[in-house]
Amino acid sequence: MGTLYEDIVAHGGEVFGEEHVETLRECVQCGKCTGSCPSGRNTALRTRKLFQMALVDLREEIFNAPELWFCTTCYTCYERCPKGVKTTDVIRTMRNLAAKEGHMSVPHRMIGVYVLKTGHGVPIGPDQMKLREAVGLESQPPTTQKHKDQLEQVQTIFRTTGYDAMIDFDWDTMNLKGMEKKGGK
């Protein structure tokens, strides 16, 4: 484990290319991100502050800050940053690192459960099948929820990347470990 900045460059760099996330270093603390932020209008999210905290290596403070999760990834600051900091991708990278170190809420982990069980973050139920029929569609779309062999491919991806372990998924109950068995959303 390096400094938070080094980890951001290493982890984010694997996906976006290092130059992309290294733009974090260009931040001059002008605050245009915060001024543009629709979340910051209502929440404690101060993107400028998060970036300064990242640059001075306040790893635990960032990972424990609820506002890290208040960004909706709307990209407004990304579009407007005068220094070309790839803001939203830096935030997503910091969230990835936080999640890896166990900072992930139960509702967020549950989205993974739905996808592991059905291939969909928002699965279909009987009521919605009726809605489909009412507009002249097949009661169920031909996606992973209908085709179990296809769902297994998605499950293979989760097993391979270790996402199942990251959210503490129990393959026996098909739910989070320690949670009562319950249906989809």
Contact window for other proteins (CB under 8 A) among 1-9, 25-33, 55-63, 116-124: 116-124
Please identify which residue in the block is written with the tokens 């989205």: 111
Give the side-chain half-sphere CA count within 13 A for 173.
12
Which of 158, 168, 173, 176 lies at the binding interface for other proteins (CB under 8 A)?
158
Closer Cβ to other proteins, 31 or 184, answer by number: 184
Contact window for other proteins (CB under 8 A) among 46-54, 56-64, 99-107, 168-176: 99-107
Asked if 98 contacts 62 with a C-beta cutoff of 8 angstroms, the reply is yes
Contact window for other proteins (CB under 8 A) among 1-9, 25-33, 93-101, 174-182: 93-101
Does 183 interact with other proteins (rule: CB under 8 A)?
Answer: no
Which of 56, 122, 165, 174 lies at the binding interface for other proteins (CB under 8 A)?
122
Min dist CB 11 to other proteins, Å, is 8
Asked if 39 contacts 66 with a C-beta cutoff of 8 angstroms, the reply is no
Asked if 47 contacts 67 with a C-beta cutoff of 8 angstroms, the reply is no
Closer Cβ to other proteins, 5 or 16, answer by number: 16
Closer Cβ to other proteins, 142 or 183, answer by number: 142
User: Tokens for 15?
Assistant: 């996906």
| DSSP code, position 6 | H
Does 17 interact with other proteins (rule: CB under 8 A)?
Answer: yes
Does 21 interact with other proteins (rule: CB under 8 A)?
Answer: no
Does 1 interact with other proteins (rule: CB under 8 A)?
Answer: no
Min dist CB 157 to other proteins, Å, is 5
Element (H, E) at 176: strand 175-176
Does 112 interact with other proteins (rule: CB under 8 A)?
Answer: yes
Q: Of 42, 5, 35, 34, which Cα lies nearest the Cα of 21? A: 5
DSSP string, 55-106: HTT-HHHHHT-GGGG------HHHHH-TT---HHHHHHHHHHHHHHTT---H
Binders of other proteins in range 33-92 (CB under 8 A): 38-39, 41-43, 69-76, 78-79, 88, 91-92
